[in-house]
Amino acid sequence: MATKKKENNEDKLMTMRHSCAHVLAEAVQKLYPGTKIGFGPATEEGFFYDFDLPKPISSDNFGKIEKEMKKIIAANNKFEREVVTKAEAKKIFKDQDLKLEHIDDLPEGEEITIYRHGDFVDLCAGPHVESTKEIGAFKLTKTAGAYWKGDANNKQLTRIYGTAFFTQEELDEYFTRLEEAEKRDHRKLGKELGIYTMSEMAGVGLPMYLPNGAIIIRKMQEWLRNDLIDRGYQEVITPHIYNADVWKTSGHYDFYKENMYFFNINEGTEDDPKLSEYGVKPMNCPGHVMLYKAQQRSYRELPIRFFEFGTVYRHEMSGVVHGLLRARGFTQDDAHVFCTREQLVDEVIDILKLVDHIMSEFNFEYEAEISTRPEKSIGTDDMWEHATNVLKQACETHKLKYEINEGDGAFYGPKIDIKVKDAIGRTWQCSTVQVDFNLPERFDLEYKTKDNTMERPWMLHRAIFGSIERFLGILIEHYAGALPLWLAPVQVAIIPIADRHLDAAHDLKKKIYEVGGRVDVYEDSEPLRVKIAKAQAQKIPYMIVMGDKEVESGEIAVRDRQKGDLGKMSVDDFVKLIKEASKH
């Protein structure tokens, strides 16, 4: 059931990609004498290397570089590791300004390792493949500018990206997936389907929902809200801003301030100003903690489950903002559970059941990862051991496959991260369950036990969608914009052939609308084929063409977005179909 992260195909792939990056650096140095090299790591998508080049290059040069790389790989040179002193390293890299600067920045006494293959040498911690011939199929993909060590005050270098796989077949499959991902890009589809927009005037990373998008978001929230209430959750609403004292108590002021927005409010008078500092919330937990603390709590009340669709704001760098997937303003389907030590395992099991319910609805396959105690942490050994065992027990009870990510938990508790796989095989991290030893302590939370003593409650953070914006972006790409019937902003397009069919079309619209359906009548004076193409482009689940036969017979010809023509159907049967979908 449980596995630790170890040397596997993924690790071997990263090692091979790192080795390919070194081959790229050697090829560029050979083809462009005088090149200074920066860093060249492997990445999830491939690898890159940063260069200070004697002359500009672009993707037009990739063919020549790849040809040189293939020669180097065919030479079958071994990757050899050496440990050197600072003085030796400076001698080896005497002509490499960037490397010399980096060597100077290394702490005294730190082990310095280099790797050689053929005539090439680089500062590197490794690991690498045995020899260049073990490098599989590769391709260079793009160039970009990158500041040395990521500092905008430093020199701008040329970054060359590439990717590599063990076989040509895997490489070809990767580029096929990229093409498919481009077609599914939620930023493109979000605009075409009228879901959301971004405004330069409003600011970076602040999505604004058009009517179609608002319908989808509200349907997602309504669906989850009803389910949570059935599961014993209570909905709460908390402010968007708090006095800085809240963030000082929670620890965010000291440890998260650079990711937050702070401002001053004059709470005095014009003659006697009194400035108070406030912060916009980057998360909802302090509000829920204060709601728990607002009254004395008894063991009889526990577990208490607060949930909120809370909009939060985080200061993300503009370069990493990416549509709905990474925004500065977003809404979390946030919940916090306050319970006793004994109740913890049942609460985690119930959360995993909820995760399964949500992910199964969208046909997502998923796995779990349990992150354990890091070197720096708070809480006792007993608390950590109990909480970690609870997470494992919950996964095993739920028959959920999980990996152990040793030492990668938060300083305040272990967690479960849920990773889902979409329709084209990409993995996304969505839901999370997090034990928190920190906030109950900082806010001095208590409850009265059976024995009339006071004890600290255990606290769980829990999100299923995570960010609703991000989850919607994933859904758009997963379904290529063709959302399920219950979630589609427009479920039915009625297309009258001529103006004389408009009354019948609107009568049908009214019947569908009365059972909670969402329907548009295409009234514009356009050719029938144009109207049909428009409905198809909007990925509307059902299309009904209304002509003389339909008006006279009372039956309608229904076209399904995926299955095509469904044939004739009575109006009552079709309305019933939409009514059932609207109950979701």
Token couple for 159: 């970054």
**354 vs 350: CA distance, rounded Å:** 6
**Chain length of the chain:** 584
Give tens-digit pLDDT for 339-366: 999 999 999 999 999 999 999 999 999 9
**355 vs 357: CA distance, rounded Å:** 5
Annotated catalytic residue 285: yes
- Of 228, 195, 253, 375, nearest in space to 309 by CA: 228
**312 vs 331: CA distance, rounded Å:** 6
The model's pTM is 0.82
Place of tokens 């970054």: 159
Annotated catalytic residue 461: yes
Catalytic residue among 29, 96, 332, 538: 332
What was the pLDDT predicted at 6?
40
Annotated catalytic residue 314: yes
Catalytic residue among 461, 470, 531, 539: 461
Q: What is the 3-state secondary structure (H, E, C) of 561-575?
A: CCCEEEEEEEHHHHH
Catalytic residue among 18, 281, 297, 415: 415
**43 vs 46: CA distance, rounded Å:** 5
**366 vs 352: CA distance, rounded Å:** 11
What was the pLDDT predicted at 385?
94
Annotated catalytic residue 430: no
Distances (CA, A) of 319 to 57, 205, 373, 387, 432: 23, 10, 31, 37, 26
Annotated catalytic residue 334: yes
What was the pLDDT predicted at 8?
64
Token couple for 117: 């293959």
What was the pLDDT predicted at 564?
86
Give tens-digit pLDDT for 268-279: 887 788 899 999
Catalytic residue among 22, 288, 305, 314: 314
Annotated catalytic residue 398: no
What was the pLDDT predicted at 5?
47
Catalytic residue among 124, 285, 395, 430: 285
Annotated catalytic residue 339: no
Place of tokens 């909007």: 538
What was the pLDDT predicted at 24?
96
Catalytic residue among 18, 117, 305, 336: 336
- Of 15, 44, 35, 43, nearest in space to 124 by CA: 15
Give the residue ranges of the chain where pLDDT is below 50: 4-7
Query: Strand 519-521 vs strand 156-165: parallel, antiparallel, or unpaired?
Result: unpaired
Catalytic residue among 122, 334, 350, 422: 334
* Cβ–Cβ under 8 Å, residues 358 and 224: yes
Dihedral pair phi/psi, residue 3, rounded to 5°: -135, 145
What was the pLDDT predicted at 1?
53
Instruction: Give the sheet arrangement for strand 555-560, strand by strand.
Output: 519-521, 492-496, 542-546, 555-560, 564-570
What was the pLDDT predicted at 139?
96
- Of 198, 215, 216, nearest in space to 207 by CA: 198
Token couple for 396: 């095993």
Furthest-apart CA atoms within the chain: distance in Å: 94
Token couple for 281: 């919330």
DSSP string, 265-302: EE-S-SSS--EEEEEE-S-SHHHHHHHHHTS--BGGG-
- Of 413, 456, 464, 417, nearest in space to 308 by CA: 464
